[in-house]
Amino acid sequence: MQGMPKQPVPDMRRATRFPVDYQTICETRKEGEFSAKISNVSAHGCQIVHDVPLKKGDRVTVRLPVAGRIEAFLVWSHGGRSGFEYERVIRQSDFMAMLDKMSQPA
């Protein structure tokens, strides 16, 4: 219908994202280990800033405080930023402890 205002697209994510600035190490079978920055995080996934060529569906191991190494797959990527969904959900108590460590100044 013309003249109708566009409806906002609802955020269908399963969990709230928390902004962080956390340097970590990621690893893929093809690229090996690489340095990356986690810019936001939830119990289900994270956004990573990196300079490694990755494509949708790629599997990455992400090193996280408290949760340790966690497998994730790439859901989207644009301009050096990628969104990943973890293979498993991080328990709430572990997630809160992890978020606390990620929020501390380096």
- The pLDDT tens digits of the residues spanning 16-67 come to 899 999 999 999 999 899 999 999 999 999 999 999 999 999 999 999 999 9
**Does the model's pTM come out above 0.75?**
yes
Flag whether 45 is in a domain.
yes
Q: How many domains does the chain have?
A: 1
Q: What is the DSSP letter of 13?
A: -
**Cα within 13 Å of Cα(40), Cβ side:** 10
How much is the pLDDT for 104? Answer: 82
- Tell whether 5 is covered by a domain: no
pLDDT, one tens digit per residue, over 2-15 is: 555 555 444 545 67
CATH number at residue 35: 2.40.10.220
Instruction: Please give the pLDDT value at position 50.
Output: 96
Residue 53 belongs to some domain of the structure = yes
Cβ contact 26:60 at 8 Å: yes
| Bridge partners for 83 per DSSP | 47, 76
Residue 26 lies in a domain: yes
Residue 72 belongs to domain spanning: 18-103
CA distance 3 to 102: 46
Residue 106 has pLDDT above 70, yes or no: no
The string of pLDDT tens digits covering residues 57-105 is 999 999 999 999 999 999 999 989 999 999 999 999 999 999 999 988 7
Inside any domain, residue 30: yes
Residue 86 within a domain: yes
